[in-house]
Amino acid sequence: MFGPQNAQSLVGIALVLLICWAVSENRARFPWKLALGAMAVQGLLVLALFGLPAVRAALQGVGVVVDGLATSTQAGVAFVFGFLAGTPNQPYALTDPGSLFVFAFRVLPVILVVCALAALLWHWKILVWITQAFGVVFERTMGLRGPPALATAATVFMGQVEGPIFIRSYLPSLSRSELFMLIAVGMACVSGSTMVAYATILSGVLPNAAAHVLTASIVSAPAGVLLARIIVPRDAAIEEAQTYDPLAAKKYDSSIDALIKGTTDGLQIVMNVAATLIVFVALVAIVNKILGAVGDAVGYQLSVEAGLGVIFAPLAWAIGVSWADAPTAGSLLGVKLVLTEFTAFISMGNMPLEAMEPRTRVLMTYALCGFANIASVGINLAGFSVLVPERRNEIVGMVWKAMMAGFLATCLTASIVGLLPHDLFG
């Protein structure tokens, strides 16, 4: 049923569009048709994925696949690290079984395995066909040209820098609007490897977590395209069609070559995620110690998380979260932006079920599922400086706006989900 909380999400949609229009490079060229079409596509996709029995059953099967990947990965981790991997047979008496879940041994190895499998599926052309199919959908429904549509589709599965690699030779000729759109969409979505990691983190507190995470990344792509087009409107006069062979950008000599190179790529991602989390969590701990000392002096409990909760609570409420949960949800949004979505998902995964309403947990899964954070600004600058060095100065001038677009795109997706009946998600 459509109730007050569903209507509340309309505020979130209006707020996101208003913010993007306010920072637009050309406010007179608001893409009304694209806005209505993109949000309709988002709503229809969510309805189809969760409302159609056959598709819903397939989505539930995704959870089985994720569990299988996690279990199989643990076999490899246990072979290398032994009881440190959290196997049932521990050499000492357990007083806290929950402590066996160690992020470095339970989540990061999953990224490694999925990267290797993704490379293998690309070599076998399976992932190529899926990517091309999504590219055609983006081209037909959102007015994108062939190469940017392909890169947008690849970004949904491969990641914020990996997706544009598939049209590397075409990047110098992209219009400013198209280049900005690729960066924004990259921050609005996540990669296939991290989808599995997020689902693993949330599996204990969110029913059918894998289906929600997969849906969130796919549905946020149209939102990223829309908000990017609002901020940097399209210039059709300089966009000319060109043909492009997607297979030319990434090739493997054999299945073994694909597995080895995929593992190597995955190792780089794992090390990047681990290093980023260590540094950013440490920096926040330093700031919290300083704020704690100040708070003791003035008689208040001060922390980065509490401050972010106050700042982002109105946005969380606008998305559709109850006001009682808004400070907690706002804190998660702030943590995602400042630290990374990994940290935010870990925080939400550690929250007891009674600490947050089921509706809030679902909406926050969609709002957090994107790479838009401060660390990603550096990742995009480094990645695109290699892919298209001649446009580095242009990218430096737009990457912060792209981060904002990616952050708001996931909020728009959560607002669209908030409009729908909560019973739809079981």
* CB-CB contact of 120 with 258 (8 Å): yes
pLDDT reported for residue 218: 83
Residue 47 clears pLDDT 90, i.e. is over it? no
Q: Are 408 and 16 in contact (CB under 8 A)?
A: yes
Residue 365 has pLDDT above 70, yes or no: yes
Q: Is the per-residue pLDDT at 117 higher than 70?
A: yes
Question: Nearest 5°: CA angle at 393, between 388 and 395?
Answer: 65
Can you read off the two tokens belonging to residue 254?
A: 């054999």
Which of the four pLDDT bands, split at 50, 70 and 90, describes residue 377? confident
pLDDT-derived band at 237, boundaries 50, 70, 90: low
**More reliable by pLDDT, 203 or 92:** 203
Task: Return the number of other C-beta atoms located less than 10 Å from residue 391's C-beta.
Answer: 17
Residue 387, token pair as written in the block? 């892919």
Question: What six digits make up the tokens of 415?
Answer: 């607002």
Closest CA to 329 of 342, 304, 311: 311
User: What pLDDT is stored for residue 406 in this prediction?
Assistant: 93
Q: Read off the pLDDT of each residue in 137-166 and give the average, rounded to a whole number.
A: 75
The mean pLDDT value of the chain amounts to 80
User: Looking at per-residue confidence, does 243 or 14 come out higher?
Assistant: 14
Rounded to whole angstroms, the Cα distance separating 363 from 367 reads 6
338 confidence band (pLDDT: 50, 70, 90): confident
Q: How far apart are the first and last CA of the chain?
A: 13
Question: What was the pLDDT predicted at 99?
Answer: 61
Cβ atoms of 12 and 414 within 8 Å: the answer is yes
Which of 97-111, 291-305, 319-333, 375-389 has the largest mean confidence?
319-333
Closest C-alpha to 337, from 373, 380, 284, 285: 373
Of 426 and 52, more confident: 52
Closest CA relative to residue 410, chosen from 232, 216, 230, 159: 216
- Token pair in block for residue 232: 């940097």
- Alpha-helix residue ranges (DSSP H) falling in 143-254: 146-158, 162-165, 176-188, 192-202, 209-231
Rounded mean pLDDT, 280-292: 81
Q: Which tokens go with 270?
A: 């794992």
**pLDDT tier at 100, thresholds 50, 70, 90:** low
Share of the chain above pLDDT 90, in %: 16
Residue in the block written with tokens 């990947």:
69
* 46 in Cβ contact with 425 (< 8 Å): no
How far out from the chain centre does Cα 288 lie? 27
What local confidence, expressed as pLDDT, does residue 363 receive?
A: 92
Report whether pLDDT(244) > 90.
Answer: no
Give me the percent of the chain exceeding a pLDDT of 70: 86
Q: How confident is the model at residue 307 (pLDDT cuts 50, 70, 90)?
A: confident
Q: Per-residue confidence at 236, pLDDT binned at 50, 70, 90?
A: low
Confidence check: pLDDT of 384 > 60: yes
CA of 202: how far to CAs of 156, 266, 327, 423, in Å?
20, 22, 20, 20
pLDDT attached to residue 240? 57
- 357, 325 Cβ separation under 8 angstroms: yes
- Mean pLDDT, rounded, for 289-313: 80
- Map residue 368 onto helix, strand or coil: helix
Q: What's the confidence (pLDDT) of residue 60?
A: 65
pLDDT tier at 426, thresholds 50, 70, 90: low
Q: Is the pLDDT of residue 340 over 70?
A: yes
Please give the residue that has the higher pLDDT: either 116 or 56: 116
Least confident of 114-118, 157-161, 344-348: 157-161
Question: Which one is predicted more confidently, 145 or 395?
Answer: 395
Contacts made by residues 350-356, CB under 8 angstroms, sequence distance 24+: 351/205, 353/205, 355/328, 356/325, 356/328, 356/329
pLDDT, mean of residues 34-44:
85
Please indicate whether residue 95 or residue 285 has the higher confidence score (pLDDT): 285
Q: Are 259 and 119 in contact (CB under 8 A)?
A: yes
Q: Which of 150-164, 237-251, 360-374 has the lowest mean pLDDT?
A: 237-251
For residue 59, what pLDDT band results from cuts at 50, 70 and 90?
low
pLDDT for 160 equals 76
What are the DSSP calls for 72-113, one per residue?
HHHHHHHHHHGGGG--S--SS--S-GGGG--HHHHTHHHHHH
Averaged over 267-282, what is the pLDDT? 76
Which tops the pLDDT comparison, 225 or 155? 225
Residue 169 has pLDDT above 70, yes or no: no
Cα–Cα distance list, 106 to 76, 78, 177, 201, 237 (Å): 11, 10, 40, 9, 50
pLDDT at 148: 81
